[in-house]
A and B are shown apart, each in its own frame.
Chain A
C-alpha cells in the first residue's frame, strides 16, 4: 500500500482545532522543543525560574517563539512548531497538570473543562472535518 505523502499531509490541515506535529512543524520548532527538554534537569529548572528571559536568550529561537513561551500561550507555541509533549516540561515546571495546561488552549476555564471531561469529554460531532463539517 503506497501512500501519497502530499495527500497524507494535506488531510491534516482539514482537522478543526488541531496541529499535527509534522516534519515541517518539527523543524520550525526544533529549538523551542529542545529548550523545553532542557527543563528535565533540576539545575536547569532553577536557572529558568530565576530568570526566564536570560535562560531563553541561550536558545537560538525567534523573538515570537520566545514571547509565546514567556506568555505561556500554548496555542501560539504549537503554531510556531512546539509539541505538547516537549512543552509539558514547561508547564510541569510551572506546577501545572496536563488538565490545567491543556484547558488553557480551549478558551474554557479549568473548572468548565474538567466538568466537560467528567461529563464524557468533547464530542467529535462537527469537529472531524473543516471541509465537510462532520
Chain B
C-alpha cells in the first residue's frame, strides 16, 4: 500500500532557481538561504528518499493564462517540461509524472466530492522546479516521480485554508488506497510573507511567519481558519501562497512532528521558509 511518509514545505522564489542555475549559491547573499536546506538535501538522499512527490504549487501565469483558471488541477501526464517564463526554460531535467497514482488520486478525490481538474499536457514553471532544485540539487534526472498539483492563488478568490486542509486529508485517504508499495511525500510550496506589487511591495512579517510555522507542528488545526484577508494584511499580497502549505499539512493526519525548520530573510523580495514534517501516530 502507498503511504504519505512526510510533508515538506518551502518557498519557491524564482531568484533561487536563477542562483542555482548560474552557480551563485556560494555568494554571501545566497549562502544563508541555501544553508538551511543542507539537512534536507542529505536526508532526502538517504532515509528520506521518496518514490513519488505530490508537489503542490501554483502556476505563475505560465501553463494557465486568463483563459483557464482551475482551482485545483492534478497533472496526470507521463512528463512535464520546464516552461519558458520569459528568459528561456530553466536548465533542469524534465519532470517525470506518475500517471497511475495521479489518476487514482484524481478519481478518489472526485468521489470524495473534490471536483478536480485533470491535466494531460502542461509545462511547469519555477513554482514546481525551484523546490526540486532546492531538495535534489542539479542531477541529470530527478530521483523520483512527481505529481504536480496546481492551485489557483492568483485570481481571487483562491481556495480557503479550510478547503486546502480538507483536500490534503482526502489526498491522504486516496494515497492509502493505492495498492502499490510506495513512499509518497507531499510538498507544499510558495510563501512565506512577500508582496511583489504596489507601494507596499517588500513587506515581510517574520513574527507572523514564525507563528505559522509553529502551528504546522503538533495537533493544532488553527490554520484551517485563517481568512484570506489576514494573509493579505499580515503577509503581503503574495503571502496567500501559504494556503498551499495547508494541503501538505492536512495530508499528514491529526498530529505532526518537526524534523527540520529553516527561515531566512530575504530571498529576493521574499521571506524564505522551509519545514520538514512527519505524521505522528
Contact = CB atoms under 8 A, between A and B. Distances in A.
Contact of B202 (A40, A88, A121): A121
Interface in A78-128: 78, 83-86, 88-89, 92-93, 97-99, 102-103, 105-107, 113, 116-118, 120-124, 127-128
Interface stretch (B137-145, B171-179, B253-261, B262-270): B262-270
A42 B15 CA distance: 21
Q: How large is the interface on A (under 10, 10 to 19, 20 to 34, 35 or more residues)?
A: 35 or more
Contacts of B229: 8, 11-12
Main secondary structure on B side of the interface with A: loop
Contacts, number: 157
B198 interface: yes
Contact of B265 (A85, A89, A121): A121
A37 B66 CA distance: 9
A23 B156 contact: yes
Contacts of A9: 156
9 contacts: A19-B197, A20-B156, A20-B232, A26-B66, A41-B84, A89-B86, A117-B265, A118-B29, A122-B202
Interface of B: 14-15, 18, 29, 60-62, 65-67, 83-88, 154-157, 160, 162, 193, 195-206, 208, 228-229, 232-237, 265-266, 268-269, 271
Given A89-B61, A121-B193, 5 more contacts: A19-B237, A37-B61, A75-B199, A85-B60, A99-B268
